[in-house]
Amino acid sequence: MFRKIYPEDQINNYLIIDVIVIVSLFYNVLSVDSPVPIGVSLSLLAAFLFTYYMMLWYKDIRLLFAALTACFIFALFAIFYKPWLLLYGFIVSDFLGRAHAKRLMWIGVVGLFAMHISTAYALYGHWFTFYSPVQLPILILQLVLPFMIRIREKSKLLKEELDTANQKLERYIQEEERHRIARDLHDTLGQSLTMITMKSQLATRLVEKDADQAKKEMTEVMNTSRRVLKQVRELVTTMKFVSLEEEVSHAKEILSLQNITLEVIQEGATPQLLKVAESMLALSLREAVTNIIKHSRATHCTIVKEYANNEYKLQVIDNGIGKIDQMQTGNGITSIRERIHLLQGNVCLTSLPNGGMSITMTIPIHNAKRGATL
């Protein structure tokens, strides 16, 4: 019920401050000796509460109307009660910074300026008497505060939009990865299962005529089924989170079994990535290492992780034979490209002058802060 009367975001951030400000304003107005009758004072305070409520809920022309009315009320407080009550103009400054249109904010700032100079003229008979050591900084701060609040609100809105875009991107990447897995199931497992069916049928026909040949066919069926089981496990693994650091450690173990040394170079701080993005990079690294083991004939491999200029690069270098034409058409490179392109990145294959090849995977980082998301 209370949330229908008072905005939820205001409850979470400013409720205590609002209560203190309103209670202090009531006290300072009602406790001052003034020629204004108590009934008029209460009416002015009630009018302020109404404008305050309007500024809480509305960011359009109604906010401007309420802000200008509040400026008029504060001017009356300063003239007939105490001049320092103009300090409460910071309330108006704060709300003006949240106006939807910049034009409304500018008009409100003019209203704040008019509040100060009209008060100065009414009290001292001169428009610019407010140029005193205390009043001038207050005026400047009240005129500047709306712009500062607007910048903060814009930054907050942009961050929320970026978070929303990242969430949509993560869902899109997951959906595309499911499509890729479906293609792998159709292209790879479909072919293998068809072969198992055909060989099983052949073995059934040969079991009485040629037992040895039937046994050979069934052996191939078992080998094929093992490969299918392995492929299914790999596909299931790709749907889970894969840590890049763990994949680097795994690559070191696998390469060492093939007598290939591994060097890991870290350049710059490592940003925290979305789990989907980190999994994509880790799986791409796995594909690259697999290609090195199968095709490169390398004896040394280098993995370079670099973060600079809002880009994260993962480079895999080997000193093998460097047959880039063969690699361009391989299934591994195709999978790497599909994954990295889903992250809005790119993949570059380069043959090195002294032999070997380099695979560079680059993805954009939308927030340079450590712990930010992709």
Check residue 104 and give its pLDDT.
92
pLDDT bin (cut points 50, 70, 90) of residue 65 is: very high
- Burial degree of 318 (CB within 10 A; 0-12, 13-18, 19+): buried
pLDDT greater than 90 at residue 162: no
The CATH class, in words, for 241-374 is alpha beta
Once rounded to an integer, what is the mean pLDDT over residues 263-291? Answer: 86
Q: Which pLDDT does position 228 carry in this prediction?
A: 73
Mean pLDDT of 146-153: 89
pLDDT at 16: 83
Query: With 70 as the cut, is the pLDDT of residue 226 above it?
Result: yes
Ranges for all domains in the chain classified under CATH 3.30.565.10: 241-374
Task: Please indicate whether residue 287 or residue 7 has the higher confidence score (pLDDT).
Answer: 287
pLDDT of residue 184: 63
Q: CB 151: neighbour CB atoms within 10 A?
A: 11
Is the pLDDT reported for residue 317 higher than 90?
yes
Q: Report the alpha-carbon distance of residue 358 to residue 300 in Å, rounded.
A: 12
What pLDDT does 373 receive?
38
How many Å apart are CA 73 and CA 28, to the nearest integer?
14
Distance, in Å, from the CA atom of 362 to the CA atom of 59, rounded to the nearest integer, reads 43
Query: Distance from CA of residue 201 to its chain's centroid?
Result: 55
Which of 118-127, 132-141, 314-323 is predicted with the least confidence, judged by mean pLDDT? 132-141
Give me the mean pLDDT over the 139-147 stretch: 90
Q: Which of 50-64, 184-198, 290-304 has the least mean pLDDT?
A: 184-198
66 vs 11, residue with greater confidence = 66
Task: State phi, psi for 366 to the nearest 5 degrees.
Answer: -85, -5
Flag the least confident range among 194-208, 223-237, 355-369.
223-237
**Rounded Cα–Cα distance for residues 179 and 335 (Å):** 12
Q: 265: helix, coil or strand?
A: strand
CA distance 70 to 25: 13
- Vertex 295: Cα angle to 290 and 301 (nearest 5): 60
